[in-house]
Structure 1
Amino acid sequence: MKNAKLISFLLFIMLLVGWEAIAKTMSELVLPAPSVIFMTLYEGMLDGYFLPHIIRTLSEVLLGLILGSLFGFIVGILMGEITFLRKLLFPYVIASQAVPKLALAPLFILWFGFGMTSKVVITALICFFPLLENTVTAIQFTDRQKIELFRVLDATRFQTLIRLEIPAGLPSIMAGFRVAVVMSVVGAVVGEFIGGSEGLGAMIIASQGMMDTPLMFAILTLLTVIGMGLYQLVLLIEKKLLKRYTKEKLL
């Protein structure tokens, strides 16, 4: 494990060194060097230029993630538990996901305006499906023998759901949540691309208009850090939940 992390870090350093060497032979407009990007990022953070945009994008990401994931989890439980509801709604859910969100973004801007609401709705819609799909799968494929045991013990349907189906399906549900976390950043940025004057997505469009490639790369770096940070936070939460569930099983 330690060797793998060390090799990964060394690979990262090698990529940066190679990038720096290649960038020196090219125009900054085409490919800025990592050192130039770092200075742009450092100066922007130092003078507070990036901060309002980071807060705006992070707010959209978190609100959309919470709403979309919560709705996906609840609907996923209902569809997993009720076969009729699953057969009724699943084709419409698939159809809604088949439409590219970039194509829907202008409509949401038209319906909800240029403010934060439209970006949150886009982000929530993107986060909705991974949680729904994984929750339905987790509920459907719960061990039948364990469910029969709960029935023998006169457990109610709700008790079986809370005590067995959700805990047993936790790895699958959390896997969906990890996907939703990564996609939430994409959703917020897509919304800001289409109609936004604030946020990191809007800054990318502005930097493109100014032909400021180092600024664009600096913003992309910030988005990467935000996405990776949220992903690691979810991994930590997942680890604690699974550890707690394992302890409860042993008891």
Structure 2
Amino acid sequence: MRKIPIYSFLLFLILLLLWEWTARGMSELVLPAPSVIGETLYSGLISGYFNAHIVQTSVEVLIGLLLGSLLGILFGILMGEFESLRKLLFPYVIASQAVPKLALAPLFILWFGFGMTSKIIITTLICFFPLLENTVTAIQYTDHKKLELFRVLGASRWQTLLQLKLPAGLPGIMAGFRVASVLAVVGAVVGEFIGGSQGLGALIIASQGMMDTPLMFSVLILLTALGTFLYFIIELIEKRVLKPYVKEKKR
């Protein structure tokens, strides 16, 4: 897992101190001090107030990320391998991504209800495109010399895909997976904004209604922590998965 450089940590401390100093002359409603936010966050975690919301959002994020990634890779492989399918479907894929998910969220709430299903579908759609795009690109831009070698050796399309295209495209696919892990949090929160009584996104709307700005900042910190944790976990998996290929290139 990536280590945080000491100068980045020092910059964080400086910004935190500046924020604390600035917030002392302002109302908590406008800008609460980090000490106040920290106290709210700590008391919420200790009392268990945040627990159900964290679990709800985490489940939506994980299921949506898994489904979106699997579908993205599957359709990416199909569209990368079959040019006719890519030409047929790609305009529709682009059109679906051009529509803001915030605009689609009310429809999903109407179709699938206020439960977890609608939030998972929104998250899945948001995670789908990065994996699709990166997988298609990885398959299309495979080294032509290696492709020619596989043809000379009489490898089938299936063998070429499994033994050349996917292994060579793993860095790009994993990069898409990292992007999707951060976007998954956005998808879950968007769904909870529109319709939901539980989850960190719903808690932000509730804190806005109560005019509790420290609580709102506390939830934002939890969402940031969730997204960052997912990103670093996937980065760790990526290093493990790509380790054999990195060693092979160094030889």
> Residue type of the partner of 2:61?
V
**Other-structure match for 1:100:** 100
Return 183-192 or 173-182, whichever deviates more.
Answer: 173-182
**Other-structure match for 1:232:** 232
**Other-structure match for 2:175:** 175
- Equivalent positions of 1:42-121 (< 5 A) are 42-121=42-121
> Residue type of the partner of 2:88?
L
The C-alpha deviation readout for 1:110-167, integer Å capped at 9, x for no partner, is 0100000000000000000000001000000000110111111121111111111011
Q: Per the alignment, do residues 250 and 25 of structure 1 end up closer, same or farther by CA in structure 2, a change over 3 Å counting?
A: closer
Q: How many residue pairs were aligned?
A: 250
Distance 1:249 1:13 in 2: 40
Distance 1:180 1:224 in 2: 15
> Residue type of the partner of 2:157?
R
> Residue type of the partner of 1:79?
M
Tell me, which stretches of 5 or more residues in structure 2 are unaligned? none
Report the TM-score when normalising by structure 2.
Answer: 0.97
Distance 2:216 2:239 in 1: 35
> Residue type of the partner of 1:201?
G
**Superposed displacement of residue 241, structure 1:** 1.0
Report the TM-score when normalising by structure 1.
Answer: 0.97
**Superposed displacement of residue 229, structure 1:** 0.4
**Superposed displacement of residue 244, structure 1:** 2.3
Return 204-213 or 238-247, whichever deviates more.
Answer: 238-247
Distance 2:24 2:241 in 1: 48
> Residue type of the partner of 2:154?
D
Distance 1:74 1:11 in 2: 42
Distance 2:95 2:181 in 1: 22
The C-alpha deviation readout for 1:79-128, integer Å capped at 9, x for no partner, is 00000000010000000000000000000000100000000000000000
> Residue type of the partner of 1:49?
Y
Distance 2:4 2:183 in 1: 27
- Equivalent positions of 1:233-248 (< 5 A) are 233-247=233-247
**Other-structure match for 1:191:** 191
Q: Per the alignment, do residues 250 and 30 of structure 1 end up closer, same or farther by CA in structure 2, a change over 3 Å counting?
A: closer
Q: Per the alignment, do residues 59 and 4 of structure 1 end up closer, same or farther by CA in structure 2, a change over 3 Å counting?
A: closer
Tell me, which stretches of 5 or more residues in structure 1 are unaligned? none
Q: What percent of counterpart residues are identical?
A: 71
Distance 1:3 1:218 in 2: 24
**Superposed displacement of residue 4, structure 1:** 7.6
SS at match of 1:169: helix
**Other-structure match for 1:147:** 147
**Other-structure match for 1:19:** 19
